[in-house]
């Protein structure tokens, strides 16, 4: 390389690094956890950017989602809302004072639900101004992402955070309706947090220093770039550590959760290895897992942290716990490092997390690992996704905002299950090789950024071409169910050496995909064809030396989003054995029920 070329490359790198570093502002937080009052009080400080021009100032007050049982958020979290209603206690965040460049502007502040708004900048714009927000957050008991229970604290969304600046200088303040999760820009966090010394504090990184004084410990954390900063505190935590590459993994658990650790460690390692190999490397130095007491069973993703509900009930006897741990670990990529909007495009992290979780679970396995296998009963991760998709309502789009859903079945069935199957269908359509390039490109392009639906499709077009991008759009932006079916199979003997095989292929939904189909003849021969599926149905007629035993549309299950897999194949002579076995089992079940009720 010549000197000129080297100098040019160095300058270019320096330019890229500078713009990269400049993209992240520092968010300074100083706060104290008051366990007597179950409150956090403190201040958030940040400097607004020099452009685009900012005529107003907005910030987010997430804890206000718990401010009454009629908030859009709690309307869809019915059990928590009901508990608060019974206890007649609601929670939220109070802004004690708002200072702009040291001048108190609290009187001009308007608070609407989770939106803090200062409309008037005075004579000048808000650009380059220093914002200081003094706040007090009441911590709900119990709750979901911000809660405390029996002296254990889960603190997420606990401080006022800046709203997101659009390119035209307007603000995007996410609407926290039902099923929404926190949305934020990427920042460097400089957090000073005071908590009682008996509490073990779990943060995305270890404290750079800590001072113990009068029964209180002050921790100092430097972390970023990240779009959130969460803390988990418990007096009961034990800690175990492991290393995966250059990442230190920390596991926080209570004594009675120790038995889960080997499985958690194994799946954490598998997930990190898989995601690093197939998407991109994990960027943080630490990743912490902590068992917490939620008001629900599942897990919660936070940058460089995963919280998992304590393994009780179903999670112990099935492998759902393993699925949850894998799903939340995948979120470190799709949410943590590639920060999509969890309010407007929840599928861009949840569908991808479920999709990759299934890939991790069946990676290098001959058969998909069952989530539940007892005696002769099997229930796989795939069954779990299909059950979820089946139970969700009709006409719902994968690319719908979280707040547009009104019940759990629709939200989880559409965004998690159908979304994961749609992503798998997309991957199958563009092919394994293109898919590998796609995920790497998507990661490189949007690392520590917030891609949206258009960005995703643009990357698809970039890797697979515009036609493919157009083809896969109905998987995400159409509420129509996608179903391919085969019907009306007939075999007609034409002469001693020829049979006319006739059947109808049907299609429901807007997907324009040349779907493969297979004819299996009575001599065992298999013939593969493609159907362009330009029309809703088409009669296919073939002349072959043997009659058809079975016709299968999409024989390799390339379209897992297909709403009904039972009609994908048609046997010329039906097989009653599955029906008979089912009936045999049901007969015994009914006999047992009768013995129980009738005593005989």
Q: Which stretch binds other proteins (CB under 8 A): 53-61, 244-252, 529-537, 585-593?
A: 585-593
Q: How far apart are CB 73 and other proteins at their closest, in Å?
A: 29
Site for other proteins in 473-532 (CB under 8 A): none
**In the block, residue with structure tokens 């929840």:** 346
Q: How far apart are CB 502 and other proteins at their closest, in Å?
A: 16
CB 168 within 8 A of CB 146: no
Residue 598 binding other proteins, by CB under 8 A: yes
Sign of CA dihedral 254, 258, 263, 266: positive
CB 568 within 8 A of CB 484: yes
Q: Which stretch binds other proteins (CB under 8 A): 25-33, 224-232, 453-461, 567-575?
A: 567-575
**How far apart, in whole angstroms, are the C-alpha atoms of residue 364 and residue 572?**
36
Residue 569 binding other proteins, by CB under 8 A: yes
Q: Which stretch binds other proteins (CB under 8 A): 55-63, 175-183, 218-226, 568-576?
A: 568-576
Residue 406 binding other proteins, by CB under 8 A: no
Site for other proteins in 421-450 (CB under 8 A): none
How many Cβ atoms are within 10 Å of 11's Cβ, its own excluded? 10
Residue 379 binding other proteins, by CB under 8 A: yes
**How far apart, in whole angstroms, are the C-alpha atoms of residue 591 and residue 585?**
10
Q: Which stretch binds other proteins (CB under 8 A): 111-119, 381-389, 415-423, 502-510?
A: 381-389
Site for other proteins in 293-312 (CB under 8 A): 310-312
CB 423 within 8 A of CB 561: no
Of 519, 513, 547, 549, give the one whose Cα is nearest residue 531.
513
Per CB under 8 A, the list member of 9, 17, 222, 259 interacting with other proteins is 259
Closer Cβ to other proteins, 12 or 314, answer by number = 314
Closer Cβ to other proteins, 21 or 314, answer by number = 314
Residue 152 binding other proteins, by CB under 8 A: no
Structure tokens at 513: 């995909």
Closer Cβ to other proteins, 15 or 256, answer by number = 256
Q: How far apart are CB 151 and other proteins at their closest, in Å?
A: 17
Q: Cβ contacts of residue 251 below 8 Å, gap of 6+?
A: 239, 240, 241, 242, 261, 264, 265, 288, 289, 290
Closer Cβ to other proteins, 206 or 298, answer by number = 298
Residue 387 binding other proteins, by CB under 8 A: yes
Binding mask 111-140 for other proteins (x = CB under 8 A): ------------------------------
Structure tokens at 495: 């002469």
Q: Which stretch binds other proteins (CB under 8 A): 55-63, 396-404, 492-500, 572-580?
A: 572-580
Of 129, 131, 151, 153, give the one whose Cα is nearest residue 143.
153
In order, the DSSP letters of 325-393 are: HHHHHHTTTBTTTB---TTT-THHHHHHHHHHHHHHHHTT-SSPPEEEEETTEEEEHHHHHHHHHHHSP
Vertex 551 angle, CA 548 and 553, to 5°:
160
Vertex 43 angle, CA 47 and 85, to 5°:
125
Q: How far apart are CB 107 and other proteins at their closest, in Å?
A: 51
Q: How far apart are CB 372 and other proteins at their closest, in Å?
A: 8
Per CB under 8 A, the list member of 166, 378, 498, 556 interacting with other proteins is 378
Q: Which stretch binds other proteins (CB under 8 A): 201-209, 267-275, 372-380, 526-534?
A: 372-380
Of 294, 403, 398, 345, give the one whose Cα is nearest residue 75.
403
H or E stretch covering 248: strand 247-253
Residue 358 binding other proteins, by CB under 8 A: no
Closer Cβ to other proteins, 18 or 314, answer by number = 314
Residue 26 binding other proteins, by CB under 8 A: no
Question: Can you name the residues that pair with 171 across neighbouring β-strands?
Answer: 165
Q: Which stretch binds other proteins (CB under 8 A): 125-133, 344-352, 426-434, 563-571?
A: 563-571
Of 365, 399, 383, give the one whose Cα is nearest residue 560.
383
Site for other proteins in 317-336 (CB under 8 A): 317
**How many chain residues are in contact with other proteins, going by CB under 8 A?**
58
Per CB under 8 A, the list member of 380, 428, 459, 533 interacting with other proteins is 380
In order, the DSSP letters of 77-139 are: -HHHHHHHHHHT----EEEEEEEETTEE-GGG-EEETTEEEE---TTS-STT-EEEEEEEEEP
Residue 595 binding other proteins, by CB under 8 A: yes
Per CB under 8 A, the list member of 9, 16, 316, 494 interacting with other proteins is 316
Residue 266 binding other proteins, by CB under 8 A: no
Q: What is the 3-state secondary structure (H, E, C) of 534-555?
A: CCCEEEEEEEECCCEEEEEECC
Q: Angle, nearest 10°, between helix axes 419-430 and 381-391?
A: 120
What's CA 366's distance to the chain center, in Å? 26
Of 52, 47, 58, 61, give the one whose Cα is nearest residue 166.
52
Per CB under 8 A, the list member of 125, 250, 327, 382 interacting with other proteins is 382
Q: Which stretch binds other proteins (CB under 8 A): 58-66, 189-197, 201-209, 251-259?
A: 251-259
Rg (CA), the chain: 28
Closer Cβ to other proteins, 4 or 375, answer by number = 375
Per CB under 8 A, the list member of 256, 494, 523, 536 interacting with other proteins is 256
> Given the rule CB under 8 A, which residues bind other proteins?
255-257, 259-260, 310-312, 316-317, 375-380, 382-383, 386-387, 390-391, 550, 552, 563-571, 574-588, 590-595, 597-600
């Amino acid at each position: 390389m010549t000197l000129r070329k080297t100098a040019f490359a160095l300058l270019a790198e320096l330019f890229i690094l500078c713009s990269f570093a400049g993209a992240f502002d520092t968010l300074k937080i100083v706060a104290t956890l008051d366990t007597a009052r179950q409150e956090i009080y403190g201040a958030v400080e940040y400097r607004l950017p020099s452009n685009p021009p900012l005529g107003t100032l907005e910030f987010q007050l997430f804890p206000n989602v718990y401010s009454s049982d009629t908030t859009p958020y709690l309307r869809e979290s019915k059990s928590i809302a009901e508990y608060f209603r019974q206890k007649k206690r609601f929670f939220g965040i109070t802004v004690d004072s708002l200072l702009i460049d040291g001048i108190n502007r609290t009187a001009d502040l308007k608070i609407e639900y989770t939106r803090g708004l200062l409309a008037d900048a005075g004579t000048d714009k808000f650009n380059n101004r220093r914002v200081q927000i003094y706040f007090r957050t009441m911590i709900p008991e119990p709750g979901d992402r911000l809660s405390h229970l029996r002296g254990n604290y889960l603190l997420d969304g606990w401080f006022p955070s800046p709203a997101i600046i659009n390119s035209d200088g307007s603000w995007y303040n996410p609407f926290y309706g039902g099923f929404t999760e926190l949305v934020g820009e990427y920042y460097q966090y400089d957090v000073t947090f005071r908590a009682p010394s008996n509490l073990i504090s779990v943060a995305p990184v270890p404290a750079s220093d800590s001072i113990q004084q009068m029964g209180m410990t002050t921790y100092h954390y430097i972390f970023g770039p990240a779009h959130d900063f969460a803390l988990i505190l418990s007096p009961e935590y034990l800690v175990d550590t492991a290393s995966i590459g250059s990442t230190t993994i920390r596991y926080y658990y209570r004594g009675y959760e120790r038995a889960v650790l080997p499985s958690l460690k194994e799946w954490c390692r598998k997930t990190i290895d898989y995601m690093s190999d197939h998407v991109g490397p994990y960027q943080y130095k630490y990743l912490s897992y902590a068992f917490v007491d939620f008001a629900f069973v599942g897990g919660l993703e936070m940058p460089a942290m995963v919280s998992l509900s304590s393994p009780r009930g179903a999670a112990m006897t099935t492998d759902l716990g393993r699925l949850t741990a894998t799903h939340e670990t995948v979120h470190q990529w799709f949410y943590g490092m590639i920060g999509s909007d969890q309010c407007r495009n929840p599928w861009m992290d949840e569908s991808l997390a479920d999709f990759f979780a299934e890939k991790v679970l069946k990676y290098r396995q001959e058969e998909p690992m069952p989530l539940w296998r007892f005696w002769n009963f099997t229930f796989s991760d795939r069954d779990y996704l299909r059950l979820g998709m089946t139970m969700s309502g009709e006409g719902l789009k994968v690319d719908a905002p979280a707040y547009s859903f009104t019940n759990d079945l629709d939200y989880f069935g559409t965004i998690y299950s159908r979304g994961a199957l749609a992503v798998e269908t997309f991957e199958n359509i563009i092919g394994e090789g293109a898919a590998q390039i796609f995920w790497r490109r998507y990661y490189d392009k949007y690392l520590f950024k917030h891609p949206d639906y258009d960005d995703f499709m643009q990357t698809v077009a970039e890797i697979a071409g515009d036609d493919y991008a157009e083809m896969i759009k109905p998987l995400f932006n159409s509420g129509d169910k996608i179903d391919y079916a085969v019907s009306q199979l007939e075999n007609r003997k034409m002469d001693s050496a020829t049979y006319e095989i006739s059947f109808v292929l049907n299609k429901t939904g807007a997907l324009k995909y040349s779907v493969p189909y297979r004819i299996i003849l009575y001599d065992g021969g298999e013939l593969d064809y493609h159907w362009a599926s330009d029309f809703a149905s088409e009669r296919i007629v073939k002349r072959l030396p043997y009659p058809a035993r079975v016709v299968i549309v999409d024989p390799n299950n390339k379209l897992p989003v297909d709403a009904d897999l039972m009609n994908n194949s048609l046997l010329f002579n039906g097989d009653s054995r599955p029906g008979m076995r089912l009936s045999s089992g049901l007969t015994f079940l009914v006999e047992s029920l009768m013995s129980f009720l009738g005593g005989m």
